[in-house]
Amino acid sequence: MSTPVAIGAPRRLVEVTVDGQEVRVPEGATILDACEAVGTDVPTLCYGDTLTPRNACRVCVVEVEGARTLVPACSRKVEESMSVATDSERVRHSRKMVLELLGSSVDLSTTPGVPEWNERYDARPERFGPRAEPAPLGERDARHAGEHEVGDGTVAATVEQPTKVDNDLYVRDYGKCIMCYKCVDACGEQWQNTFAIGIAGRGFDARVSTEHDVALPDSACVYCGNCIEVCPTGALSFRTEYEMRNEGTWDEERQSQTTTICTYCGVGCNVTLHVQDNEIVKVTSPHDNPVTHGNLCIKGRFGFQHVQQRRRD
Amino acid sequence: MDLHFLDAVPEDSEREAVDTVLGPPESGWDGGTRQASDLRFAEGGHTARGRRDLLLPALHAVNDRVGWISPAALDYICRRLTIPPAEAYGVATFYAMFSLNERPRRVVHVCTDIACAAKGSQQLCAQLTERAGPAGAEGGEFTWHESPCLGLCERAPAAVSFEAGDPPRYSVAAPAAADEIVPAPGEVPAQESAGAGSPNGHGPALNGGRPRRRTFSPETLPGPAPEPPASAAVPQAGDPDLLLLRRIGVVDPASLDDYRANGGYLALREALRMGQSAVIREVTDSGLVGRGGAAFPTGRKWDGTAKRPETPRYVICNADESEPGTFKDRVIMEGDPFSVIESLTIAGYANNAAKGYIYIRGEYPRALSLLENAIELAHARNLLGRDILGSGFDFDIEIRRGAGAYICGEETAIFNSIEGLRGEPRSKPPFPVERGVFGKPTAINNVETLVNVLPIMQMGGPAYAAIGTGRSTGPKLFCVSGSVQRPGVYEVPFGASLRELIEMCGGTGTGPDGAPRVPRAVLLGGAAGGFVRGDELDIPLTFEGARDAGATLGSGVVLVLDDTVDLAAILVRIAAFFRDESCGQCVPCRVGTVRQEEALVRLSQGAGPRRTDIALLREVGEAMRDASICGLGQTAWNAVESAIDRLGVFGPQEEQPVKEVR
């Protein structure tokens, strides 16, 4: 006896035009999908392949014919005979400004793609002036909504502050945070259902925070590291990576990646071991894995020290 | 959901405050003391989480009672509502009126926005600093803050004080003097004074009965002179030809009998008689468009909502009037609150909605009290509730109070705020008519828009459409403030010119030296609108006329500035406003408003390269307009742009290419 296999309802194809090129994509697809289908590269930062789009960063905006404003490609669904321009003057300008605004206020030194995009869109974040001094630890977390000190305009305000190092497994360097909401979504209802972190504050002072900015060990955090998995800027990173970067020994050129199966339990999550000089320095998980979609638990993510003896000396 | 709580024990007052909104806990599962019997069942899941929308009322209850929200109080709220503390913390820190740090019970909000700045709010702040330390200092008997527009522009400079307690009290001082708003020594009780009332009259009915409580004590705080009635803000009060302001100053705003004796509830009877689709047809025929700023056709909105198959549907009255310079909705709510209830009931009927919400800004305590009273009285007379007037139509209205966030006037941000989430706008599509509050079809209208429905019901759509001009039909309220003789809310049919309106207000008058004052600029439409020059007063006050002139009517702000004001300082204030009020969700607005402020500070001080900074402003402004999620970011550069290009604040500008109207 055969078992019926659910294949879902057939999806109608929708015809759209991307930069003059016609393409047919399934109904419900996003503009980003359509761009990918024609091979057009659209920069993205807050978009996560395993998460519902938040369209917060606005670096993926495109011009849709007839629309008053630009629209985010990552979340806007295609409509029949939609005509999209991905490289018009308006699009290039907004992308450039998003890159400059982020670049001038956030440390993007570990964000992949940024140098190339800055060049492509002629973005010069330094033209907003010298960067303000980083805030002392905890100062940004204490800011009150709806108030701020008006400066004298000589320096460009930033979100930079010291890294939060409060546990042995991972660090939070919110000076690199672009507020993409991905860690919050991964920690919350989209994946982990732990809700250890949320967005607090408002406007430029908005930040990712635990309740009352308590340290991670006092929060609901279960150290699954799924927030690190989705962080696009390196604001969240393994303690190992953080320390090696500080020592100047972190070198991705020298790293190999091996995907294997986690041995801790029977679920069979895939883990990708990042190995440098024969030591595991970081663990990720393939996003296309049908079981876990890039998610792991504390054991798969951080329980690798038993196979090596780093820092036993 | 396995939530992690702090082990902090709330004070009795905090617990009581929360329990007045949520009712007492039923078991250890929802925050009560754990009993052995609790171990024999489990409660959780969707039911436990289904009361998330009570988060904001619960936060208000604690803040009203104690003056701040302690970690223990937040924890208790989270236990009661099954909300992760990190999320509740995110919501509480979103609103300017909540504090997560201990502070004095008395908090004074001093408006430093455009209209008040032009009338000396700076001196007021200086005096307060001298007496009580800088803004935000929390050591003394009270604390004070600089506030965005409090909607009291006709009596600038304004200050509103709140004192936590049971019940909380407030006072409005406008025009404000430091003597009145600084409490006398020992006036603010260190401990809660025993009172018979209890906080928070809004929120849902407890145990099936309706709450009979008012949020604020009817006794205002000592100090300022008693607030004048709302009609003091309506120079035309008593004119029988008025359509929207007709009853203001004529009826007692607390009396339903008075309202009914003056034509109240005739419109609802007429609506119930003609039927739902006919109501929508009349509204469509009237040509009524939204008065909140976006000018969307109301009939189309209602038609779209009423036709959706999903139920329940909701109607919302947007009373989060926060656009700097706008106070018309406050005047309506304070002078004729029943008209808001009646028109929202008609909207509910037309859209076949199960429930209506009034989302009122937290800075309007008097309007809130009057609306609470109006809802209670309407209930008692079967004008709300089940089977209204024997028509078979069931409808109820709940008031939700904002807590100091301009962005919550954005329609989708209101939905999030009501649902107990951070007041961040959602991306559209889907539009509210498809998926609004609680994911259901929602028709959301501004107070003034709704009140227009009453004359439409009584005179019929076509007759209403005959008022005004072309596509701008009906009467319009304008909030005139600044350098005019008689500031206030004015009702004029669409089509009058700006000059005629200013003349109605007695003109700009003379300055202290006796010389006639010259209007240098007029801010039309608020901070999200734009400036026009003093020599452009012939602009017709219609949607088309303003658009053709490259301006906007927005929410009806007409703020007249004479040549004594420092325009550059006003621009810095506008920029600071947008920086403070940006929700922080999208990059163009979150960082763009900061860069805009920095460049304007440089320009206003004559520091830095002028041309480069103006070019920078333009580039940032264009990106905010094009790429922001919502209207706040999209309009954050409007007023600055018009000041640079139209007024030439920073010197003459080279001809700008004429831009398409977007």
Note whether B148 contacts A: Cβ–Cβ < 8 A. yes
SS3 B404: coil
* pLDDT tens per residue across span A100-146: 999 999 999 999 999 999 999 999 999 999 999 999 999 999 999 99
- What band does B192 get if pLDDT is binned at 50, 70 and 90? low
d(CA B188, CA B200): 21
Residue B303, by phi and psi: left (phi above 0), alpha (psi -120 to 50) or beta? Answer: alpha
Sort A58 into a burial class: Cβ within 10 Å, 0-12 / 13-18 / 19+.
buried
The one-letter amino acid at B212: R
Could you say which residues from 602 to 641 on chain B have a Cβ atom under 8 Å away from some Cβ of chain A?
602, 605, 607-608, 616, 619-620, 622-623, 625-629, 634
Q: Determine whether the interchain pair B86/A56 forms a contact, defined as Cβ–Cβ distance below 8 Å.
A: no
B629's enclosing H/E stretch is: none
**Neighbour tally for A41: CB within 10 Å:** 12
Where are the alpha helices (H) located in chain A, listed in sequence order? 31-37, 89-105, 114-120, 182-187, 226-230, 239-247, 298-302
Label residue A310 by pLDDT band (50, 70, 90): low
A-B C-beta contacts closer than 8 Å: 209
**Partners of B170 in beta bridges:** B162
Contact B90 A198 (CB under 8 A): yes
- Would an 8 Å CB–CB cutoff place B568 in contact with chain A? no
User: What does the pLDDT average to over B182-192?
Assistant: 80
Cα dihedral A189, A191, A196, A199 sign: negative
Report the 10 Å Cβ neighbour count for B548.
Answer: 12
Sheet strands side by side (includes B169-173): B142-147, B106-111, B159-163, B169-173
C-alpha to C-alpha distance for A284 and A274, rounded to whole angstroms: 8
Residues 6+ apart with CB under 8 A from A119: none
Which residue among A156, A195, A205 sits closest to B86, beta carbon to beta carbon? Answer: A195
Gap between the Cα atoms of B88 and B52, Å rounded: 10
> Which residues have a Cβ under 8 Å from the Cβ of B50 and sit 6 or more positions away?
none
Which pLDDT band holds residue A309 (cuts at 50, 70, 90)? low
Q: Count the Cβ atoms, other than its own, within 10 Å of residue B573.
A: 22
B599 touches chain A (CB under 8 A): yes
B256-267 pLDDT tens trace:
999 999 999 999
| pLDDT score at B436 | 97
B296 touches chain A (CB under 8 A): no
Question: Residue B422 and residue B90: Cα distance in Å, rounded?
Answer: 7
* Residue A152 to residue B572, Cβ atoms within 8 A: no
Place of tokens 């909701």: B314
DSSP string, B176-226: --HHHHSPPTT-S-SSPPP-S--S---SPPBTTBPP---SS-SSPPSSSPP
Fold of the A159-307 domain: Alpha-Beta Plaits (3.30.70)
- Give the pLDDT of residue B206: 44
Which chain B residues touch A90 with a CB distance below 8 Å?
Answer: 626
pLDDT score, position B207:
42
Mean pLDDT score of chain B, rounded to an integer?
Answer: 92
Distance from first CA to last CA of chain B, Å, rounded?
46
Report yes or no: B413 at the A interface, CB cutoff 8 Å: no
| The pLDDT of residue B415 is above 90 | yes
Among the listed residues A50, A206, A212, A94, the one whose alpha carbon sits nearest the alpha carbon of residue B68: A212
Q: Is B435 on the interface with A (CB under 8 A)?
A: no
8 A C-beta contact, residue B523 and residue B614? no
Return residue ranges of chain A for CATH 3.30.70.20: 159-307
User: What is the enclosing helix (H) or strand (E) of B590?
Assistant: helix B587-604
Report yes or no: B586 at the A interface, CB cutoff 8 Å: yes
Per-residue pLDDT, averaged over B139-158, amounts to 93
Q: Report pLDDT for B393.
A: 96
* pLDDT, greater one: B194 or A73: A73
Cross-chain residue pair A145–B404, CB shorter than 8 Å: yes
Residue in chain B closest to A193 (alpha carbons) equals: B1
Tallying the residues shown for chain B, one arrives at: 662
Using a CB–CB cutoff of 8 Å, tell me whether B137 touches chain A: no
Q: Which residues of B touch A195 (CB under 8 A)?
A: 1, 3, 84, 86-87
Domains along chain B with CATH numbers? 12-92 (no CATH), 106-181 (3.40.30.10), 237-466 (3.40.50.11540), 473-562 (3.10.20.600), 567-645 (1.20.1440.230)
Determine, for residues B4 and A219 on separate chains, whether the beta-carbon distance falls below 8 Å: yes
Instruction: Please give the C-alpha separations between residue B294 and each of B132, B283, B315, B377, B535, in angstroms, as whole numbers.
Output: 42, 17, 18, 33, 26
* pLDDT, position B577: 97
Q: What are the pLDDT digits (tens) for A284-305?
A: 999 999 889 999 999 999 999 8
pLDDT in tens, B475-498: 999 999 999 999 999 999 999 999
Q: What is the DSSP string of A171-237?
A: EE-GGG-----HHHHHHTTTTT-----EEES-GGG-EEE-GGG--GGGSS-----HHHHH-SSSSEE
- Per-residue pLDDT tens digits for A2-49: 666 677 777 899 999 999 999 999 999 999 999 999 999 999 999 999
Pairing of strands B557-562, B519-524: antiparallel
Residue A36 near residue A21, CB atoms below 8 Å:
no
pLDDT in tens, A170-213: 999 999 999 999 999 999 999 999 999 999 999 999 999 999 99
Give A252's DSSP letter. Answer: G
Domain with CATH 3.10.20.740 in chain A: 12-134
pLDDT at B194 over 70: no
Measured distance CA(B481)–CA(B151) in Å, rounded: 11
Cα–Cα distance measured from residue A148 to residue A132, given in angstroms and rounded to the nearest whole number: 15
At B513 the pLDDT is 79
- Does the pTM surpass 0.90? The reply is yes
Per-residue pLDDT, B196: 42
Distance CA A230, CA B414 (A): 29
Report CA dihedral (A272, A276, A278, A281) to the nearest 10 degrees: -60
Closest CA to A256 of A273, A243, A237: A273
How many Cβ atoms from other residues are within 10 Å of residue A87's Cβ? 13
* B466 interface with A at CB cutoff 8 Å: no
Q: Indicate yes or no: CB of B592 within 8 angstroms of CB of A97.
A: yes
What mean pLDDT comes out for the span B175-198?
75
Residue labelled with tokens 């004429």: B658
pLDDT tens per residue, range B390-414: 999 999 999 999 999 999 999 999 9
Tokens of residue A65, six digits: 């014919």
Mean pLDDT across B209-224:
80
SS3 at position A286: coil
d(C-alpha B422, C-alpha B45), whole Å: 22
Strand arrangement, sheet containing A61-64: A21-26, A13-18, A83-85, A61-64, A71-72
Residue B357, beta-bridge partner list: B316, B398
Q: Is the pLDDT of residue B198 over 50?
A: no
Q: Where are the beta strands (DSSP E) in B325-402?
A: 355-360, 396-401
pLDDT of the residue at B45 = 77
Q: Which residues contact B17 (CB under 8 A, 6 or more apart)?
A: B61, B62, B64, B65, B66, B73, B166, B199, B200
What per-residue confidence (pLDDT) applies to B532?
96
Cα A106 from chain centroid (whole Å):
14
Counts for chain B of helices (H) and strands (E), in that order? 25, 15
Report whether pLDDT(B59) > 70. Answer: yes
Contact assessment for residue A178 and residue A203, using Cβ atoms and an 8 Å cutoff = no
Contact B627/A199, CB-based, under 8 Å?
Answer: no
**Distance between CA A267 and CA A300 in Å, rounded?**
11
Write the CB contacts of B105 (distance below 8 Å, at least 6 apart in sequence): B66, B67, B142, B163, B164, B165, B188, B189, B190
List CB contacts (< 8 A) between A179 and chain B.
Answer: 584-585, 587, 590
Quick one: A247 exposed, middle or buried, by C-beta within 10 A (0-12, 13-18, 19+)? exposed
Cβ–Cβ under 8 Å, residues B322 and B151: yes
Which of A90, A145, A156 lies nearest to residue B96, judging by beta carbons?
A145
User: Is there a contact between B180 and B224 (Cβ–Cβ < 8 Å)?
Assistant: yes
Q: Is A65 exposed, middle or buried (0-12, 13-18, 19+ CB in 10 A)?
A: exposed
Would you state the CATH architecture of domain A12-134?
Roll (3.10)
